[in-house]
């Protein structure tokens, strides 16, 4: 077995960044391997929140005094920051709406935008083996429209057998002139693969609206709306090093009506927005491309080791396991099963050795996995030594 080589300069870069996460450095005996559920926070994000709360905490767009004005400016500045982080070349045309996270963002699109876009007989594509947050809102919208007399057809996203990747050729065959909306995922939360969104556009044509669930990609790899011809990007701040309860919808405003969430706009999560701006600044300074290189390299090291352990099944594309594979690698997410040990029990065993992992069905849709599994998800604060130690423990359970 030959482990993938990780360059010395990349290791030194990672060590300097890892030192900026107090919860990680404060518990050296533990390895946090659950960043797909939520990411840990660097000191810069914690400092930004502390500074805001102790210097200018106020409500936004509801006062004329200094603290209120600063908060209002902060909210608007962070909208611009999100658009800039995504490489938006036409920010004057697009819109950014803050949410509590990906789930609320997708539901807002399904509830407040989609009904005004669809007509009787239209079709939407739904990825039934992805996260429930990217399935349930569209099914709910179908039911609500039916009550009003508008009947739309839900077309299941086709998947390649055995890999969990989208089957873009089959999608092109299923899509037709009435295919108006496609819900898709950037990085799969179980299989860890980049779902090749660019091929989605080629498959469904230039007019269909594409909504991208970027919960597992923002903060982990570059997300460029200039390169991805999608209409919505929805993400959670807490998976991108910001605080829980923060997130956003970026809307291109090019196909269909303008995106405008319905109802009265209440008090925004100003602390979450502060943390989001600080997290995006931190990621830009660190280099998101390097973050991706690091987590992909660690995932490759893990799959290279696991493929030599017969007791384990690795979910996702079987061609991308070896260190010498030319197939795209897992984006910092590796999900596995032991052939004899229940996944819940395996999770407890791993925690007894200091590893914090996710062990359940991972909120996957009905067309996904039926049996529980253990998910290892990585971020920039994880180390080569943690992966090697995890492999040693897993090997001892053969």
Q: Residues 244-290: pLDDT tens digits?
A: 999 999 999 999 999 999 888 889 999 999 999 999 999 999 999 99
What token pair was written down for 111? Answer: 């509830």
In the prediction, which pLDDT does 323 show? 72
**Angle ∠(227,134,211) on CA atoms, nearest 5:** 30
Q: Name the pLDDT band for 368 (thresholds 50, 70, 90).
A: very high
Percent of the chain, pLDDT > 70? Answer: 99
Give CA–CA dist 62/272, Å, rounded. Answer: 18
Report how far apart, in Å, the C-alpha atoms of 298 and of each of 4, 197, 383 are. Answer: 8, 24, 8
Q: Name the pLDDT band for 2 (thresholds 50, 70, 90).
A: low
Which spans in 287-383 are helix H? 288-306, 343-352
Average pLDDT along the chain: 95
Instruction: Write the pLDDT tens digit of every residue in 36-49.
Output: 999 999 999 999 99
In the prediction, which pLDDT does 73 show? 96
In the prediction, which pLDDT does 3 show? 59
Instruction: Write the pLDDT tens digit of every residue in 222-253.
Output: 999 999 999 999 999 999 999 999 999 999 99
- CA-only gyration radius of the chain, Å: 21
The answer to whether residues 123 and 95 touch, using CB atoms and an 8 Å cutoff, is no
In the prediction, which pLDDT does 383 show? 98
Instruction: Write the pLDDT tens digit of every residue in 123-140.
Output: 999 999 999 999 999 999
> What's the first-to-final CA gap in the chain, in angstroms?
17
Give CA–CA dist 224/83, Å, rounded. Answer: 10
**pTM of the model as a whole:** 0.96
* Confidence check: pLDDT of 1 > 60: no
The answer to whether residues 215 and 236 touch, using CB atoms and an 8 Å cutoff, is yes
In the prediction, which pLDDT does 256 show? 94
Give CA–CA dist 192/211, Å, rounded. Answer: 19
Which of 165-171's residues contact partners 24+ apart within 8 Å by CB, and which partners? 165/191, 165/193, 165/195, 165/196, 165/317, 166/127, 166/195, 166/196, 166/199, 166/200, 168/196, 168/199, 168/200, 168/202, 168/203, 169/203, 171/125, 171/200, 171/203, 171/204
The answer to whether residues 363 and 102 touch, using CB atoms and an 8 Å cutoff, is no
> In what helix (H) or strand (E) does residue 324 lie, and over which residues does it extend?
none
Instruction: Write the pLDDT tens digit of every residue in 295-329.
Output: 999 999 999 999 999 999 999 998 888 777 777 78
Cα torsion 85, 88, 89, 91 to 10°: value is -110
Cα torsion 297, 298, 302, 307 to 10°: value is -10
3-state secondary structure of 31: strand
In the prediction, which pLDDT does 263 show? 85
Nearest to 98 by CA among 89, 87, 113, 108: 108
Instruction: Write the pLDDT tens digit of every residue in 137-154.
Output: 999 999 999 999 999 999
One DSSP character per residue, 48-92 reads HHHHHHHHT---SSS--SHHHHHHHHHHHHHHHHHHHHTT-S-TT
The answer to whether residues 155 and 163 touch, using CB atoms and an 8 Å cutoff, is no
Q: Name the pLDDT band for 4 (thresholds 50, 70, 90).
A: low
């Amino acid at each position: 077995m030959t482990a993938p080589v990780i360059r010395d300069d990349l290791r030194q870069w990672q060590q300097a960044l890892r030192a900026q996460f107090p919860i990680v450095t404060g518990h050296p005996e533990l390895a946090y391997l659950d960043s797909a559920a939520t990411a840990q926070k660097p000191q810069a994000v914690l400092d930004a929140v502390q500074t805001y709360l102790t210097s200018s905490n106020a409500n936004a767009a509801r006062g004329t005094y200094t603290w209120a004005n600063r908060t209002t400016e902060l909210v608007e500045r962070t909208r611009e920051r999100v658009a800039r982080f995504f490489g938006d070349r036409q920010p004057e045309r697009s819109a950014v709406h803050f949410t509590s996270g990906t789930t609320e963002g997708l539901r807002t699109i399904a509830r407040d935008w989609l009904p005004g876009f669809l007509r009787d007989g239209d079709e939407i594509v739904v990825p039934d083996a992805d996260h429930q947050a990217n399935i349930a809102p569209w099914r709910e919208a179908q039911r609500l429209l039916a009550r009003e007399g508008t009947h739309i057809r839900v077309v299941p996203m086709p998947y390649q057998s055995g890999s969990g990747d989208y089957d873009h050729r089959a999608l092109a065959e299923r899509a037709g002139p009435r295919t108006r909306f496609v819900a898709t995922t950037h990085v799969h939360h179980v299989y860890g693969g980049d779902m090749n969104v660019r091929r989605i556009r080629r498959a469904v044509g230039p007019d269909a609206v594409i909504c991208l669930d970027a919960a597992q990609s923002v903060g982990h790899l570059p997300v460029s709306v200039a390169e991805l011809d999608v209409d919505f990007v929805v993400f959670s701040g807490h998976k991108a090093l910001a605080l829980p309860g923060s997130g956003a919808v970026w809307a291109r405003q090019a196909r269909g009506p303008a995106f405008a969430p319905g109802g009265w706009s209440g008090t925004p999560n100003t602390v979450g927005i502060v943390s989001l701006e600080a997290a995006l600044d931190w990621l830009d300074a660190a280099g998101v491309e390097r973050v991706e290189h690091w987590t992909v390299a660690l995932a490759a090291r893990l799959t290279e080791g696991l493929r030599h352990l017969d007791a384990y099944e690795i979910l996702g594309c079987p061609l991308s396991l070896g260190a010498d594979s030319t197939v795209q690698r897992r984006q910092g997410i590796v999900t596995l099963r032991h052939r004899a040990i229940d996944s819940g029990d395996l999770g407890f065993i791993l925690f007894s050795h200091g590893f914090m992992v996710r062990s359940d069905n991972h909120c996957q849709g009905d067309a996904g996995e039926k049996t529980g599994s253990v998910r290892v998800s990585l971020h920039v604060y994880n180390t080569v030594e943690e992966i090697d130690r995890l492999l040693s423990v897993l090997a001892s359970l053969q």
